Amino acid sequence: MDLAQYLSVSESHLTLKTSPPPETDRAKTERLEIYKLLVEMSDRVSQRRQSANNFYLSVNTLLVGGSAYLGTLQPRALNVIVISVAGIAICAVWIINILSYKTLNQAKFKVINDLEQRLVEQPFHDEWGQLDPDLDGQRHRPFHQVERVVPWIFMAVYIAQSLAIIPWKAAAAYL
């Protein structure tokens, strides 16, 4: 460590420098490269998130269709209920996955935004200023708020399918 960057020494005085040493071009270049890497990594996380959502959407579409088809066969109740329970479980995992990606993205963008404060331009900060200038969520709703509704819709479909196969008149006779 070079103490000269923090101390000024003269014949009769020892002074602590209050301003940091000037930043080198190398440090600026490294910061910019790290910033670009972080932005690229966050984009990859978003791509993985979209791939995961596509997977869950496909599986649930298959299960809902399969459950509807099996509901036309005999015996139908057990088949539909088993598929519906599996679908609800998959939706629960999907919701956990969405929340996991949300926290991962929040952490990544916190690091990016913190690093961005030390750059000449702050494009992500500026973008959010345009998307939600009042910070009230009215003009722009974050993606996770929209995407987390989809698994709940599938759960409602599974529950409705299960309830639809119950012979309610026969069940009422036992009450």
174 CA to centre of own chain: 47
Residue type present at position 120: V
Distances from the Cα of 144 to the Cα of 34, 57, 99, 148, 170, angstroms: 26, 15, 8, 6, 43
Q: Do the beta carbons of residue 52 and residue 97 sit within 8 Å?
A: yes
Q: Are strands 7-9 and 14-16 parallel, antiparallel or unpaired?
A: antiparallel
Scanning the structure block, which residue is given the tokens 């995407």? 147
The pLDDT value recorded for residue 74 is: 67
The pLDDT value recorded for residue 99 is: 92
51 CA to centre of own chain: 12
83 burial level (CB within 10 Å; 0-12, 13-18, 19+): buried
Cβ partners under 8 Å of residue 57, min gap 6: 150
Helix count (H) and strand count (E) of the chain? 6, 2
Residue type present at position 27: A
* Rounded distance between C-alpha atoms, residue 50 and residue 147, angstroms: 10
Please tell me the pTM assigned to this model: 0.74
Residue type present at position 47: Q
Tens digit of pLDDT at every position of the chain (175 positions): 555 555 555 666 655 555 666 778 888 889 889 999 999 999 999 999 999 999 999 999 999 988 878 777 766 678 888 899 999 999 999 999 999 999 999 999 899 989 998 888 888 888 888 887 776 767 777 777 889 899 999 999 999 988 888 777 777 777 6
Where do the domains of the chain lie? 27-119+141-168
The pLDDT value recorded for residue 44 is: 94
Residue type present at position 48: R
5 CA to centre of own chain: 43
